[in-house]
Amino acid sequence: MANLGYIGLGVMGGRIADRLISKGHTVTGYNRTRDKAKWLVGRGLTLADSPRAAASAADVTFVMVANSAALDAVANGPDGFIAGLSPGKIVVDMSTVSPALSRTIAANVRERGARMVDAPVSGSVLTLEQGKLSIMVGGDRATFDAVKPILDDIGPKVTYVGGNGLAVSMKIAANISVAVQMLAFAEGVLLAEKSGIARDVAVDVLTHSAIGSPMLQYRGPFVLQMPDEAWFNVTMMQKDVQLALEMGRQLDVPLPTAAATNEWLTAARAMGLADKDYAAVFQALARAAGVTG
């Protein structure tokens, strides 16, 4: 069993840390909002006072924070996790951030004699709880081989995609697809509803039709009843879509459906839905279509 650190114990990070504890690993964790991580103490987590302290206590430190600014904040400075690294230690960054920043952080980690892989996940809270989470990994192949047994304890599908930053690129490519799917699903539900079909019937038919991807099967019903706690909120999804649009400009890849989805995510935020699950694009589109309820 491994001696692990975990920085960023939010909706997904906290549940992944809990899963690692349940597999017998020792986990020292840090979260900016300490109270949100207290439930894990009862599960066996040791709370650290800083990212540096979490990394100092661990052989392998996981990181899962909201965005590029948050990663920079927990990585750098006297209390950042880089300051807690020493030769032989490994960082597994599960955040979805700018690939360029990910490579920069990895280079700074190497200067400490440590190693880093980016390892974002594809899936949701439900996918994790079902043991079906998919993980993509970018970095040195030997480092991937070293951490793969631990990653296997999180999810059954762990794929090496190449060098540092490429797993983040792969995650961004995947997330624009699920964002676009959600908007297209909302269009279909609303078209059916305004034609006279009950919303719950439309959701049932569509999620069990040819378009019923795993994501739509668990998130599609959110248009009937939103979860109390967002699994992945509008702001977070728009961050990923905008990372994709930035990559598209850099790589000369047109992303027309991603651009349209970005506008509806903006509309959802303007309507006060920023903290709701990104399925709230349905609510934004429904208001535009004059549909209530």
pLDDT tens column, 33-81 = 999 999 999 999 999 999 999 999 999 999 999 999 999 999 999 999 9
Percent of the chain with pLDDT over 70: 100
C-alpha distances (whole Å) from 12 to each of 65, 120, 128, 139, 267 are 10, 11, 8, 22, 26
Average pLDDT, the chain: 97
89 a catalytic residue: no
With beta carbons less than 8 A apart as the criterion, state whether 46 and 29 touch.
yes
Average pLDDT over residues 113-122: 97
Residues 57 and 149 in one domain: yes
Residues 103 and 32 in one domain: yes
Residue from 36, 148, 171, 194 carrying the catalytic annotation: 171
From the list 35, 40, 49, the residue with the least C-alpha distance to 16 is: 40
Q: 293 falls in which pLDDT band (50, 70, 90)?
A: confident
Q: What's the pLDDT score for residue 228?
A: 93
Inform me whether the pLDDT recorded for 132 exceeds 90.
Answer: no
Is residue 233 situated within a structural domain? yes
Q: What's the pLDDT score for residue 267?
A: 98
CATH number at residue 51: 3.40.50.720
**Final residue before a domain boundary, out of 134, 164, 194:** 164
Is residue 133 situated within a structural domain? yes
Residue 264 sits in which domain range?
169-288
Q: What's the pLDDT score for residue 25?
A: 98
Inform me whether the pLDDT recorded for 212 exceeds 80.
Answer: yes
Residue 26: exposed, middle, or buried by beta-carbon count in 10 A (0-12, 13-18, 19+)? Answer: middle
Q: What's the pLDDT score for residue 274?
A: 98
For residues 269 and 81, give the distance between their C-alpha atoms in angstroms, rounded to a whole number: 32
Is residue 64 situated within a structural domain? yes
Residues 117 and 182 in one domain: no
From the list 42, 25, 31, 91, the residue with the least C-alpha distance to 62 is: 91
Residues 188 and 140 in one domain: no
With beta carbons less than 8 A apart as the criterion, state whether 9 and 137 touch.
no
Residues 7 and 93 in one domain: yes
Number of domains in the chain: 2
Tens digit of each residue's pLDDT (9 = 90 or more) over 134-178: 999 999 999 999 999 999 999 999 999 999 999 999 999 999 999
Please give the DSSP secondary-structure letter assigned to residue 84: G
Inform me whether the pLDDT recorded for 131 exceeds 90.
Answer: no
Tens digit of each residue's pLDDT (9 = 90 or more) over 91-113: 999 999 999 999 999 999 999 99
**Final residue before a domain boundary, out of 147, 164, 181:** 164
Tens digit of each residue's pLDDT (9 = 90 or more) over 228-237: 999 999 999 9
Residues 84 and 154 in one domain: yes
Is residue 83 situated within a structural domain? yes
Q: What's the pLDDT score for residue 126?
A: 86
**Final residue before a domain boundary, out of 135, 164, 193:** 164
Residues 25 and 104 in one domain: yes
Residues 109 and 213 in one domain: no
Is residue 115 situated within a structural domain? yes
Average pLDDT over residues 14-30: 97
Residue 81: exposed, middle, or buried by beta-carbon count in 10 A (0-12, 13-18, 19+)? Answer: buried
From the list 25, 277, 246, 290, the residue with the least C-alpha distance to 154 is: 25
Tokens representing 201 are 């019937």
Residues 103 and 197 in one domain: no
CATH number at residue 241: 1.10.1040.10
Q: What's the pLDDT score for residue 125?
A: 87
Residues 58 and 127 in one domain: yes
Residues 175 and 157 in one domain: no
Is residue 293 situated within a structural domain? no
Inform me whether the pLDDT recorded for 285 exceeds 80.
Answer: yes
Residues 174 and 194 in one domain: yes
